[in-house]
């Protein structure tokens, strides 16, 4: 098949991990006879430096003309000034909104080869397999916000959490459909004991699930309790659906089940158009430029890209198997090495490539 893939490495370790995933995609094309063309775009801090905008129009055009987008990460201390005109993260929010990528799918699966990498007990972690559906274009990240100076000179700032029925219905539907292909259970996470938005979320979830997915078991869990249940009894969860901010926080927490942020990929999908694939982590300024970041989350995001946007299931599975193989042989980057011997970002990429070519 022919496909154009937009590569948006972004900032910090985004550049290092996307380079490894790109090598895998090139190898997929060569091995399976596909023609992938890659077009690069700027996003985040590097885009602000070059153009003054966190998401230049040119990047958006490249993405719209592509079948899929692979993104690294944005942000870093260089662009953290609170009074700056724009921030790198604004570019990420804008691309999600502009492309209508309302569903962020984040699988959290504990590899049998990595149970030692988790700070949690083996009996809690072994066998964990959760699929998060995080709503991605609504909620606090997109509601009205602002600041004002009060008469006494102090300041007030506000962000608004806002959701409409339509926005809730479409993400709940995707969660229900996914559950049908899995263990047929969906957990909805909200704060309905306090927030009006959550009460609408809960009512809408119940209505859609009862009418359209009566065969799927459902439950509601409050966000504060969920933060605890997620690491005390993670095997109770199959599919989890929640709003933007809650899903952002819970999945970073959930990364401690497999053992590192550097292991978790994600897919951001809309009703149509290109999907966007990225690791769940950020630009990791504390390790950027050292060549030690774990590229597996981004390599696994490339596998999700092949599966969801290019419908190349065999190729996606081949990458996932190669990652499993490398982990089964004991190769580790520093984040999952537990203080033991560790390989570099580039070496980990090479090992996955060698395993991919060998099967
Ligand atoms: N999707 C994106 O582009 C995101 C961007 N950010 C931005 O990234 C910047 C840094 O944010 P942080 O809060 O530090 O979050 P972060 O996710 O960049 O890093 C958190 C911790 O996890 C480690 N880590 C993350 N990815 C890793 C990998 N692949 N291998 C090994 N270790 C890894 C980092 O070294 C750090 O100790 C900020 O500017 C933030 O806004 C944060 C989250 C998502
Ligand atoms: C805009 C962000 C940096 C959000 C985030 O942390 C994420 O999508 O994981
Ligand atoms: Mg996040």
pLDDT tens by residue, 164-173: 999 999 999 9
- What pLDDT is recorded for position 285? 98
Confirm whether 269 is domain-assigned. no
The response to whether residue 299 sits with its C-beta less than 6 Å from ligand 1 reads: no
Active site residue 191: yes
Cα separation values, 348 from 20, 102, 109, 284, 358, Å: 8, 32, 20, 18, 15
- What pLDDT is recorded for position 359? 82
Catalytic residue among 163, 248, 277, 335: 248
Confirm whether 268 is domain-assigned. no
Query: Which residues, including other chains, have CB under 8 Å from residue 125's CB and lie 6 or more apart?
Result: 110, 115, 118, 234, 257, 258
Secondary structure of residue 73 in the 3-state scheme? strand
> 141 and 94 in one domain?
no
Active site residue 206: no
The response to whether residue 276 sits with its C-beta less than 6 Å from ligand 1 reads: no
The CA distance from 22 to 324, in Å, is: 19
In this structure, what token pair is assigned to residue 359? 């099967």
- What pLDDT is recorded for position 55? 98
> 251 and 279 in one domain?
no
Q: How many domains are contained in the chain?
A: 2
CATH number of the domain bearing residue 172: 3.40.718.10
Confirm whether 122 is domain-assigned. no
Cα separation values, 259 from 118, 173, 231, Å: 4, 30, 12
Q: Please, which residues have CB less than 5 A from ligand 3, an ion? A: 248
Provide the H-helix boundaries in the chain.
13-32, 45-51, 57-64, 88-98, 122-125, 165-180, 196-212, 223-232, 244-254, 296-308, 313-328, 345-358
Mutate to test the pocket of ligand 2, among 145, 248, 276 (most ligand atoms within 8 A of CB): 248
**Structural domain ending residue among the three candidates 223, 256, 289:** 256
> 41 and 67 in one domain?
yes
pTM: 0.98
> 72 and 36 in one domain?
yes
Ligand 2 atom having least distance to the Cα of 136: 8
Tally Cβ neighbours within 10 Å of residue 148. 8
Q: Containing domain of residue 160, as a range? A: 129-256
Low-confidence residues of the chain: pLDDT under 70 = none
CB 68 within 8 A of CB 309: yes
The response to whether residue 134 sits with its C-beta less than 6 Å from ligand 1 reads: no
Active site residue 224: yes
> 71 and 162 in one domain?
no
Residue ID of nearest Cα to ligand 2 atom 7: 248
Ligand 1 atom having least distance to the Cα of 92: 3
Residue ID of nearest Cα to ligand 1 atom 8: 282
């Amino acid at each position: 098949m022919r496909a154009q893939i937009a590569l948006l490495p972004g900032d910090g370790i985004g550049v290092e991990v996307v380079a490894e995933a790109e090598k895998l995609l090139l190898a997929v094309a060569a091995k399976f006879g596909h023609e992938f063309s890659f077009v690069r775009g700027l996003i985040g801090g590097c885009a602000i430096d070059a153009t003054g905008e966190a998401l230049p129009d040119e990047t958006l055009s490249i993405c719209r003309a592509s079948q899929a987008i692979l993104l690294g990460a944005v942000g870093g201390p260089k662009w953290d000034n609170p009074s700056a005109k724009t921030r790198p993260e604004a570019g990420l929010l804008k691309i999600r909104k502009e492309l209508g990528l309302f569903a962020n799918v984040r699988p959290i699966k504990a590899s049998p080869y990595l149970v030692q990498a988790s700070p949690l007990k083996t009996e809690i972690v072994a066998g964990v397999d959760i699929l998060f559906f995080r709503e991605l274009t609504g909620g606090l990240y997109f509601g009205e916000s602002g600041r004002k100076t009060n008469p006494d000179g102090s300041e007030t700032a506000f962000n608004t959490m806002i959701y409409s029925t339509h926005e809730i219905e479409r993400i709940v539907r995707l969660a229900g459909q996914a559950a049908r292909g899995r263990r047929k259970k969906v957990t909805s996470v909200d704060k309905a004991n306090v927030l009006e938005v959550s009460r609408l979320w809960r009512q809408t979830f119940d209505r859609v699930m009862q009418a359209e997915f009566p065969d799927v078991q459902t439950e509601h869990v409050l966000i504060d309790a969920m933060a605890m249940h997620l690491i005390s009894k993670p095997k109770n969860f199959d599919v989890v659906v929640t709003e933007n901010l809650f899903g952002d926080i819970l999945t970073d927490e959930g990364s401690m089940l497999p053992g590192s942020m550097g292991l978790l990929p994600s897919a951001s999908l809309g009703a149509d158009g290109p999907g966007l694939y990225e690791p769940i982590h950020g630009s990791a300024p504390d390790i950027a430029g050292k060549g030690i970041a774990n590229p597996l989350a981004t390599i696994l995001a490339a596998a999700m890209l092949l599966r969801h946007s290019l419908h190349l299931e065999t190729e996606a599975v081949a990458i996932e198997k190669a990652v499993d193989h490398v982990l089964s042989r004991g190769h580790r980057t520093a984040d999952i090495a537990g203080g033991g011997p560790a390989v570099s970002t580039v070496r980990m990429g090479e090992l996955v490539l060698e395993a991919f070519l060998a099967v």
